[in-house]
Structure 1
Amino acid sequence: MEDQNKNLLLATLLSFLVILVWFVLFPPEDVPVDPNAPAAVTQTEQAPAAPAAAADGAATTAEAEPLPEAPRLTVDTPALTGSISLLGGRIDDLSLKSYRETLDPASPMVRLLSPVGEAHPYYAVFGWGPGTGLTADDVPGARTEWRVTGGGTLAPDAPVTLQWQNTKGMTFTREISVDDKFMFTVKDTVQNAGSAAVSLFPYGIVARHGQPAGLQNFFVLHEGMVSRTDGTLTEQNYDDLMELPVIEREAAQAEVVDATTDGWIGFTDKYWMTTLIPEQGIPFTAVTKYVPSADIYQTETRKPVAELAAGGSVTSTVRLFAGAKEWATIRAYEKDLGIAGFIDSIDWGWFFFLTKPIFAVLHWLNAAIGNMGLAIIALTFVLKLLVLPLAYKSYVSMAKMKELQPELEALKERAGEDKQKMQREMMQLYKDKKVNPAAGCLPILIQIPIFFALYKVIFVTIELRHAPFFGWLKDLSAPDPSSIFNLFGLLPWDAPVQGSVMALVFIGILPILLGITMWLQQKLNPQPTDPVQQQVFAWMPWIFMFMLGGFASGLVVYWITNNIITFSQQYLIMRSHGHKPDVFGNIKSGFKKKEPVPVADKSKKARK
């Protein structure tokens, strides 16, 4: 009796250790805070710094002065609404029409970009850096006030044209256009009507004041700088940017990378992104910068210095993606606009070779079915079908192991406390019966990478955000909102707030179904001969029930479906080999003292 108590205590401690490690690796999401809100409050403004080669070593530093008021142009497209400030021609006021902050249709639209002077400055600005024969006052920058010469409201097929002239006979013209999704095109032209040749270079900047509010700092999710240069994808979080090398000339910490063929650079949140995309095939310089004195994070694209003769002109074009990371939209931009590797701006993670095809199939199924929850269930069937050959061998091995269960129990009785004898005779029995006890691990080993890949897909892709299933499940990217605490809505008080400790204890309907399906599936598997292992395995379904209770409901739907399919496959395969699993007998025995459970052998050999 004392040994049994010790074993039970050990099993309990091991179970809680598993829970502790799991929640360290996969902490629950902080639901009440919007993880995609713009940056923290700062009232500073960063003027662009020029490359040393182009600006004769000149550099600018962050400014803490507020911006003056300036006229604005309206932005109105099927996907976007906002405005453009004529001060710098900056794109700094942008909201996404199709996305709300919460499930409530009346909640505010998600605001992506905000101007300096408001709570969360985050914007894109474009300009020219001075070269030979020019000073900073001779080129348009972040504080240049443009005038409108064409168009009044920026919309698809309705571009706007801005103009500015310096005192040296140079005219700067900027045409800004936008499509029906999230792509802006900024076309800058300079005409030199002066008498002297000059040189200058175009740049684009995406600046973010402070770190984003609700930054999750979760290892499975990348938030921060994302770029591609000459085929190399780079991801740096905000803490990484604070560790960049100091460049005195820039009065900042910065990293400069030259690209020769293709690339893009910007900032990514969980679901949203703002990215500069220079003309592909033309060399440019990608700059990642942090200005400690102003707490500004900045990405830049700088093109080579252009020589502009008297009477000549030069044109530069850069695109700006500012919007939601929709898979179909980004893939279309990659294909139609030739933006190499743009689909990798979505955080596919370490298992990208699984997450990409899994999401592609899920997206197709959702388009065909019209319900993301049903698409997840259909995807589970597809994945189980693909791994069926390996699973078949595993379940056949489990059937044989089940058949050997009475003999293993008899072996255990004969061996007594002699562990070495027990192990030796077990190995001989497996050899004689041609059974591989490790084969039963195959389904688990197969499921691990698939589970993590699907977890990544559900966690980071915007297509799962606010995607409804049925009934109370309004958002498959969030945990099940039902709770035992109020008897799943039958009692007149609210369930605990999602993400709280109470919500992890008082779980919902889906986690309970998960625990039950895992428990039923376990009843088909051979029981370990070691009592401690038996008790640990007996606890596992209920441990996982609580561990996965705080996960996205879409992931729990997958796991429940997977358990049901696995149970059915295993049962049918065992029946096809002449063994009728006594599931209900195993369940009954689970509530009694542990004794060997006979297997109902219906094979031809047994009937003889």
Structure 2
Amino acid sequence: MDDQNKNLILATVLSFLVVMTWFWLFPPEEAPITDLPPVAESLDATTPTAANDVTALTTTTPDASETDVEVARIAIETPEFKGSLSLQGARIDDLSLTQYREELAEDSPIVRLLKPVGDAEAYFATFGWASADGLSADQVPGPDTIWSLETGDVLTPETPVTLRWDNGAGQIFRTEISVDSDFMFDYAQSVENTGTSDITLRPYGLIRRHGIPADLKNFFILHEGLVRMTDGELEETKYSKVVDYSVDPSEGTQAERLEASENGWIGYTDHFWMTTLIPEQGRPFRSTSKYFDSRDLYQAEAVMPLETVAPGELTVVTTRLYAGAKEWEAIRNYENEEGVTGFLDSIDWGWFFFLTKPIFWLLHNLNVIIGNMGWSIIALTFILKALVLPLAYKSFVSMAKMKELQPEMEALKERSGDDKQALQQGMMKLYKDNKVNPAAGCVPILLQIPIFFSLYKVIFVTIELRHAPWIGWIKDLSAPDTSSIINLFGLLPWGTPEPGSIVALVAIGIMPIVLGISMWLQQKLNPAPSDPTQKMIFAYMPWVFMFMLGSFASGLVLYWITNNIITFIQQYTIMRSHGSKPDLFGNMTSGFKKSAAASDAKSKDK
């Protein structure tokens, strides 16, 4: 391997080390927790654009103040949820996910997704109508309207509920709310015009979030904040960027308003959870993101086109609300079977989406067959290694030949002395005579880097790895190895250091140690760099990675261990098939040809 290729590999590895070290030593600060008061802001319904194909909207919308009124609630009971919705504003504002706990412990509280006004970090969805022509603002239902229950008493997948509100001016509004067995609510908003003249109005849905979530990860590899699809174009905006488009309520201005002509959705995404408004696909709507600085309030809106209702007519518009875990299978079903365009992109696949999507698809299906995510990661690694084997084979053959040529290379360096040109020419001739491509040794590293980052992304962002056990002490593949050398991996009576502490950085577990050993073994089969500095860096690299990756997800460490072991076996087998017998101490014994070549080189040197 010539110096240019050694420098390429060294630069690649050092760049990786710099990035990992930076985020290891200087993790992003967590956002402060803020207690938030109730808010009183209005829904903006200024003039729509031509995309909605309607005339100018001049009247204001109903008051959307969030007063905490004691009203009746309707229980929500599904296989995934428990909670309630409020008759004030038909709000879904009390929702917990029964299948997910905050921590791994069995007595840990279940995850609470939505919270009513009055609770810290209030977070809810509400639906209503904006007046346009023939109605005043107080004649349409808004976020504070007190509805009456017309049918149903508990919202379940089998029993929808219907809410009713009569404005006393000839219009009767109803909202039928249904829910499926996964995470989707349907809001069928209707208005019956029993008056004597036409009315014009538009339905809307909105999501309000009081402040950023306390458990915001704020990590570079993960998107948290606004997420929306507008006519096939995905937008991901972090909370800090949403703030840049704040609204001055006194001026009635808007922030980040987009007009969707056919399809889309808008909402907020967390690490594992999401709340998203989904208007009827195939119809235009207005997608708006706002931030109210005075109340630290984030608001996402889906405002549908104007509806004109003649006397004696009834209009129904259905908007959907996804509120729950970002489960790949459920989201894929809504996209493929129920026509929610691009919904799978609500999962943060990252820049390498062309790798992360198929990798997760394969991992998911392996888990369906095997039933354990740990063994599925191992099986995935075997499959990925098999796919790149044709390229890796040529690389391993080249590296085996180069290692065999090392005695001749050393003799050539002694003969050339300080004459670098003669050394370079001699190396090129040696490579040519033995049909060796020194650049081929870079292929395994260059192939492994995007696959590694893609798998890191998959393990970090997908909920399917959250709290997924493997064997023994590995109870959560999305978390670091919980064993520790401090207590001899559980043999001594004291506990392990707190995650994130200085001691925890060096008190690594069993899996990182196995990783370091596997990297060392694999490295022993590679040609040693001729430069002393490079040789020292490569010698320490396995042990540096051992400590650095000790705080990474166990699933990622498991992948890397498996990858190293497979690579070692492949490379060792190929080297043996070419007449070389490597050992773990850097010695090399070969067949008669190699011994003869080395002896001949020494004779010429004398």
Which TM-score applies when normalising by structure 1? 0.91
The number of residue pairs the alignment matches comes to 580
Alignment of 1:430-445 (within 5 A): 430-445=431-446
**Secondary structure of residue in 1 paired with 2:38:** coil
Residues 402 and 525, structure 1, Cα contact 8 Å, conserved in 2: yes
Offset of residue 161 of structure 1: 0.5
Which residue identity is paired with 1:484? I
Distance of 1:524 and 1:344 partners within structure 2: 42
Alignment match, 1:11: none
Offset of residue 503 of structure 1: 1.3
Which residue identity is paired with 2:401? K
Moved more, 408-417 or 460-469: 408-417
Residues 333 and 342, structure 1, Cα contact 8 Å, conserved in 2: yes
Offset of residue 216 of structure 1: 1.8
Alignment match, 1:191: 192
Alignment match, 1:232: 233
Unaligned runs of 5+ residues in structure 2 are 1-11, 49-55, 598-606
Identity of aligned residues (%): 58
Offset of residue 198 of structure 1: 1.2
Residues 161 and 176, structure 2, Cα contact 8 Å, conserved in 1: yes
Offset of residue 415 of structure 1: 2.8
Q: Deviations over 1:81-120 (max 9, x none)?
A: 0000000010000000100000111111100000000112
Distance of 2:173 and 2:498 partners within structure 1: 55
Alignment match, 2:46: 51
**Secondary structure of residue in 2 paired with 1:131:** strand
**Secondary structure of residue in 1 paired with 2:133:** coil
Alignment match, 2:20: 22
Distance of 1:417 and 1:568 partners within structure 2: 39
The 1:248–1:84 alpha-carbon spacing in structure 2 relative to 1, beyond 3 Å, is: closer
Alignment match, 1:280: 281
Alignment match, 1:460: 461
Distance of 2:61 and 2:190 partners within structure 1: 24
Alignment match, 1:585: 585
Alignment match, 1:593: none
The 1:41–1:322 alpha-carbon spacing in structure 2 relative to 1, beyond 3 Å, is: same
Which residue identity is paired with 2:465? L
Q: Deviations over 1:449-501 (max 9, x none)?
A: 10000000000000000000111100000011111112111222211112322
Distance of 2:62 and 2:188 partners within structure 1: 25
Q: Is 1:562 matched with 2:557?
A: no
Which TM-score applies when normalising by structure 2? 0.91
Distance of 1:448 and 1:15 partners within structure 2: 9
Offset of residue 585 of structure 1: 3.3
Alignment match, 2:53: none
**Secondary structure of residue in 2 paired with 1:555:** helix
The 1:55–1:553 alpha-carbon spacing in structure 2 relative to 1, beyond 3 Å, is: same
Alignment match, 1:553: 554
Moved more, 208-217 or 442-451: 208-217
The 1:177–1:408 alpha-carbon spacing in structure 2 relative to 1, beyond 3 Å, is: same
Which residue identity is paired with 2:415? R
The 1:605–1:220 alpha-carbon spacing in structure 2 relative to 1, beyond 3 Å, is: closer
Alignment match, 1:144: 145
Offset of residue 59 of structure 1: 6.1
Residues 155 and 177, structure 1, Cα contact 8 Å, conserved in 2: yes
**Secondary structure of residue in 1 paired with 2:299:** strand
Q: Deviations over 1:48-84 (max 9, x none)?
A: 2223356516368885x64111110000001100000
Alignment of 1:199-214 (within 5 A): 199-214=200-215
Q: Is 1:317 matched with 2:318?
A: yes
Offset of residue 377 of structure 1: 0.3
Distance of 2:472 and 2:486 partners within structure 1: 19
**Secondary structure of residue in 1 paired with 2:295:** coil
Moved more, 362-371 or 423-432: 423-432
Distance of 1:470 and 1:252 partners within structure 2: 56
Alignment match, 2:523: 522
**Secondary structure of residue in 2 paired with 1:148:** strand
Distance of 1:232 and 1:316 partners within structure 2: 24
Alignment match, 1:120: 121
Alignment match, 2:216: 215
Alignment of 1:461-500 (within 5 A): 461-500=462-501
Distance of 1:584 and 1:40 partners within structure 2: 60
Which residue identity is paired with 1:56? T
Alignment match, 2:265: 264
Residues 247 and 254, structure 1, Cα contact 8 Å, conserved in 2: no
Which residue identity is paired with 2:147? W
Alignment match, 1:9: none
Residues 62 and 294, structure 1, Cα contact 8 Å, conserved in 2: no
Alignment match, 1:573: 574
Residues 28 and 551, structure 1, Cα contact 8 Å, conserved in 2: no
Moved more, 475-484 or 65-74: 65-74
Which residue identity is paired with 2:60? A
Which residue identity is paired with 1:499? G
Alignment of 1:532-547 (within 5 A): 532-547=533-548
**Secondary structure of residue in 2 paired with 1:243:** helix
Alignment match, 1:296: 297
The CA RMSD measured in Å over matched residues stands at 2.5
Residues 521 and 584, structure 2, Cα contact 8 Å, conserved in 1: no
Residues 242 and 253, structure 1, Cα contact 8 Å, conserved in 2: no
Q: Deviations over 1:165-220 (max 9, x none)?
A: 00211100110000011000000110011112111000000110101112122121
Q: Deviations over 1:354-386 (max 9, x none)?
A: 001100110111111111000000000000000
The 1:41–1:422 alpha-carbon spacing in structure 2 relative to 1, beyond 3 Å, is: farther
**Secondary structure of residue in 2 paired with 1:438:** helix
Q: Is 1:601 matched with 2:590?
A: yes
Distance of 2:551 and 2:275 partners within structure 1: 30
Distance of 1:563 and 1:521 partners within structure 2: 6
Moved more, 104-113 or 456-465: 104-113
**Secondary structure of residue in 2 paired with 1:557:** helix
Distance of 1:347 and 1:19 partners within structure 2: 24
Distance of 1:240 and 1:449 partners within structure 2: 28
Moved more, 425-434 or 103-112: 425-434
**Secondary structure of residue in 1 paired with 2:97:** strand
Residues 458 and 464, structure 1, Cα contact 8 Å, conserved in 2: yes
The 1:409–1:559 alpha-carbon spacing in structure 2 relative to 1, beyond 3 Å, is: same
Unaligned runs of 5+ residues in structure 1 are 1-13, 587-596
Residues 328 and 344, structure 2, Cα contact 8 Å, conserved in 1: yes
Offset of residue 571 of structure 1: 0.4
Residues 29 and 499, structure 1, Cα contact 8 Å, conserved in 2: no
Alignment match, 1:391: 392
Offset of residue 125 of structure 1: 0.2
**Secondary structure of residue in 2 paired with 1:281:** coil
